[in-house]
Amino acid sequence: MSDFKAVRFAVGTPVEVTLEFDQPRKTPSGKYPGKTIIWYGIKELITGENGFNASEKLCELIDLQKYAKGDRLQIEKCQSESKDGKSYQFFKVNGQSLYDLNAQFNAPQAAPPVKAPPITPQSVGTIMTNEQKMNILWSDYESRNGMAKEPAAPVAEPIISQSQPLVDEEDIPF
């Protein structure tokens, strides 16, 4: 394995690589039974490295983002501290960690817009003349029966004062 020269990731130092293959090479570890060695071949860097060993989490991160041969990646090893004060390390690929991707996939979806109910005499209230109610009902009837014509230019209706008698829904003839 002398022809493999691995990139060594330092905490806080991003490394730019270009993948040479669609899939990593996975082989069983001779040193650690039950573990797998994951090797990504990359376009040789100016410093001579031609690949990197990936943890299962780094491999998952690359797979989730569907990177393949020819894709340029910026891989950064990061370190953080948990709530209990213990430090841990993780990777970011092109600025995204597994935590970031999980947050994106699990984000609540926006609710569809609510359609406003149609304006009817009942929804407008009782401060409406019988003629106005009839015009609304007739327009609705025409549109449902395919008789709708070009809408006429709106006519300004006089404002009804509170001193005029209120019209009840029962006044509609049908």
Q: Is residue 1 part of a domain?
A: no
Number of domains in the chain: 2
Which residues in 81-116 are b (16+ Cβ under 10 Å) and which e?
eeeeeeeeebbbbeeebbeeeeeeeeeeeeeeeeee
For the stretch 63-96, pLDDT in tens is 989 999 999 999 999 999 988 989 999 999 999 9
Q: Which of 54, 60, 100 is nearest to 77 (CA)?
A: 54
Domain that includes residue 77, residue range:
15-104
What are the tokens at 96?
A: 């995204």
CA distance 104 to 112: 19
What are the tokens at 13?
A: 């130092």
Question: Could you tell me if 62 and 40 are in contact, meaning their C-beta atoms sit under 8 angstroms apart?
Answer: yes
**Stated pTM of the model:** 0.58
In Å, what is the CA distance from 130 to each residue of 28, 53, 168? 85, 81, 9
Q: Among residues 79, 104, 129, which one ends one of the domains?
A: 104
Higher pLDDT pick, 137 / 122: 137
Verify that 89 and 35 share a domain, yes or no.
yes
Q: Is residue 111 part of a domain?
A: no
Q: Is residue 33 part of a domain?
A: yes
Verify that 72 and 29 share a domain, yes or no.
yes
CATH of the domain at 83: 2.40.50
Verify that 85 and 152 share a domain, yes or no.
no
For the stretch 33-42, pLDDT in tens is 888 999 999 9
Provide mean pLDDT across the span 145-168: 56
Categorize the per-residue pLDDT at 134 as very low, low, confident or very high, splitting at 50, 70 and 90.
confident
Verify that 24 and 90 share a domain, yes or no.
yes
Mean pLDDT of the chain: 79
